[in-house]
Structures are given as structure tokens and as C-alpha cells.
Amino acid sequence: MAYIKLKNITKKYNKKMVIEDLNFEIKKGSFTVLLGPSGCGKSTTLRMIAGLEEISSGQILIDGKDISKLPASKRGISMVFQSYALFPHLSVKDNILFGLKVRKVAKDEREKRLKKVIKLVGLEGLLESKPSQLSGGQKQRVALARAFVAKSKICLMDEPLSNLDAKLRHEMRIEIKKLQQQLNMTVLYVTHDQTEAMSMADHIILLNKGVIEQQGSPKELYENVATTFVGKFIGTPPMNILNIKKENEKILINNQEINTTYSSRITDDICFLGIRPEDVYFEENNSGLEGEIIYQDYHGSDTILGIQTLNSNLDNPILMRIQKAENYINGDRVWVNWSETKINFFNSQGERREILS
């Protein structure tokens, strides 16, 4: 059963529609990530659930109860912000306990919870420090401790790791996920970073311009792409989206004629072919699509090659991921292909079309 439910949520700022008829459900104890490009309405959605922003229409239900009109303090939700939102003049301890003091939680109980949470997030020895004396990672731990000490069942996190360096961000991802499981919290986490979403989420809701493009587990979004937008958004590097069209019974991909077994099934509405970089391979016998290597992006265990196909004025090269790239140099003429079972087809609107099954 849904624990948090958004029903027909609309949000307008003045006359500008930012969220339009948004519906989704979140399961109790799950880690859900609201993902999408900058400006798509993620923070607005989170802030409406928290009660920091009014909804224009619709309903927000928690455990079956409509909380749309409840003030933020009565919703039983804690929140962690990108900017940490710590009080600079208060110590770590007082920052963490601030909310409990406001709510007049007894001193004994406060101390008990503080001890537990400090151990949980690893802030021992820093209780008397001021935020200005802490690193970014330590400040974020204080913000997490403050959210956890409230013992709310729901925690909303708005890009909490964006201000940290790559290594720390990676460590904190694992820690936050671990803490969420230990505390059995329901987390809704906002990010524009798909790698973060893929590594942390049980469930991803991918937003585009205020509407849901696709939702599901990370695996579902990677392997069962609903639209070209999802293909281009999920995956490092993203899915290759190539032009495909039928002309006099011939199939042209990026303006090159290619032999396929599926040509009879290509209908006029099919406009794009999607293929993951790991599914692209070199064709030894000079068949497939012809192109030129234009860049090599070395990652140690593998290399991403960018291949510009001939006769195409497209900006985007075909990306392929290979294990050993030392035999290739930029400017090499190559032929690439892919297994037909790995192809995704899309119509002119970018929606997936099943034609091979």
C-alpha cells in the first residue's frame, strides 16, 4: 500500500504551470529518488510534500490521511537541504537538538537520542564545534543527524550531496542508504545526478518539465527505456539515439544504407534507433555503419570511443564502450554494428515502439 501518495498535484507560480497533474506513490520504508534535469520541478514537489510550498490543486496523502492543508511542523517529516541550513552561532550539539528543544522533548530523552545519532553518523568529538569549523562532509553529517534525531518516519532530502567532492559524495551515498535501512525510514531524495539515483534508489521517478517521463527500479529504467529522453538521461555514457528511416524498402541509419533482418517491420512512424554504448561492436568485414573515431575517453578498466558516422551532419557521435582501445587512434576509419535484440525503436515523439517481439 502507498505510504505517501500524490494525487493530481498541480503547481503554478503566478500563471506559470510548473507541475501538471502529478500522480505518484511511495512505499513505506523505500528509498525513492525524484530525478530530472534542472528546473523540472523536483524541489517544488519535495517542498510541497514538506509543507514549505502550497499546492495549487490536488491532494497529498500520508498513510491514507490528507495532509495537504497541515502546516509543515505537523506533518511528521524531516528534511535535509543541499545548503545544510545549520545555525552558524550554535554548536553541533545545539544544531542537532534545536528541533527537539522547540518541541519541548525532555532533557534525558534528548541526550539519549543525541548519543545514538552521533554514533550513527560518526560525529564523535565534534559536539562543541561551530559549523564554520567543520568540513562540508561534517556539516552534512550534522544536517543528517538533525533529521534523524527527530525520529520522523519520513525524510525528504534535496540534493544533499551536491556541495561535496566526488570521493566524499560516493562515500556518503553508501552511508545514507545504510542509515535509511537501519532506521527503516521512508526517504524521498531529489537529485539531477543519474549515477546517484541509480546507485541509491529502490525506485526512481524521472521528471521532465513537471511530468513523469518514466518510473521504476534503476534496472527497469536502464533496460526498459520508455522514451528517447530516458535513454539519453539514464546511463554513463547515455544511450546512442540514431536516426532511422525507410526509403524505397532500404533502411537508412544516420543516412547510411544498412542491411537488416527487420527492414520489413520498420513502419513510417519509426524515427529513432536507440542502442547502449556497451552493445556497439566493431564489424570486422567492413559492413555495418561506417565512421571515424573522433575521440577516446580513457577510464582505466575501459574506454569510451566517440565515432562520427559518415554522411551524417549529426552533432552526436556514436559512443561505444570497449575494454582495450590501445590499437585505435583518432581518425581511424571503422565499421560498427550491434545485436538486433539490443535495439530500441522510437517514434517521432521519442516514444518506444516494439517491432521485433
Ligand X SMILES: Nc1ncnc2c1ncn2[C@@H]1O[C@H](COP(=O)(O)OP(=O)(O)OP(=O)(O)O)[C@@H](O)[C@H]1O
Task: Give which of 306, 290, 294 is closest to 256, Cα–Cα.
Answer: 290
Question: Site mask, ligand X, residues 12-31, x = CB under 6 A?
Answer: -x----x-------------
Q: How many whole angstroms separate alpha carbon 150 and alpha carbon 158?
A: 18
Q: What are phi and psi of 33, to 5 degrees?
A: -115, 125
Is residue 346 packed enough to be buried (19+ CB in 10 Å), middle (13-18) or exposed (0-12)? buried
Q: Which CB sits closer to ligand X, 45 or 312?
A: 45
Confirm if 275 and 287 have CB atoms less than 8 A apart. no
How many angstroms from the chain centroid is the CA of residue 131? 29
From 38-46, 178-186, 278-286, 301-309, give the range in contact with ligand X by CB under 6 A.
Answer: 38-46
Gyration radius of the chain over CA positions: 25
* Least distance to ligand X, CB of residue 20, Å: 12
Question: Site mask, ligand X, residues 185-214, x = CB under 6 A?
Answer: -------x----------------------
Q: Is 39 a binder of ligand X (CB under 6 A)?
A: yes
For the segment 271-330, give every residue that binds ligand X (CB under 6 A).
Answer: none
Q: Is 110 a binder of ligand X (CB under 6 A)?
A: no
Task: Give which of 119, 178, 170 is closest to 145, Cα–Cα.
Answer: 119
Q: Is 234 a binder of ligand X (CB under 6 A)?
A: no
How many angstroms from the chain centroid is the CA of residue 135? 26
Q: Is 122 a binder of ligand X (CB under 6 A)?
A: no
Number of residues that bind ligand X (CB under 6 A): 11
* Least distance to ligand X, CB of residue 26, Å: 18
From 2-10, 33-41, 89-97, 149-157, give the range in contact with ligand X by CB under 6 A.
Answer: 33-41
Q: Which CB sits closer to ligand X, 117 or 221?
A: 221
Confirm if 320 and 343 have CB atoms less than 8 A apart. no
Q: Which CB sits closer to ligand X, 205 or 334?
A: 205
Q: Which CB sits closer to ligand X, 81 or 328?
A: 81
Other beta carbons within 10 angstroms of residue 71's beta carbon come to 8
Of the candidate residues 40, 164, 185, 188, the single one contacting ligand X (CB under 6 A): 40
Q: How many whole angstroms separate alpha carbon 44 and alpha carbon 52?
A: 9
Applying CB under 6 A, the residues found at the interface with ligand X are 13, 18, 36, 38-44, 192
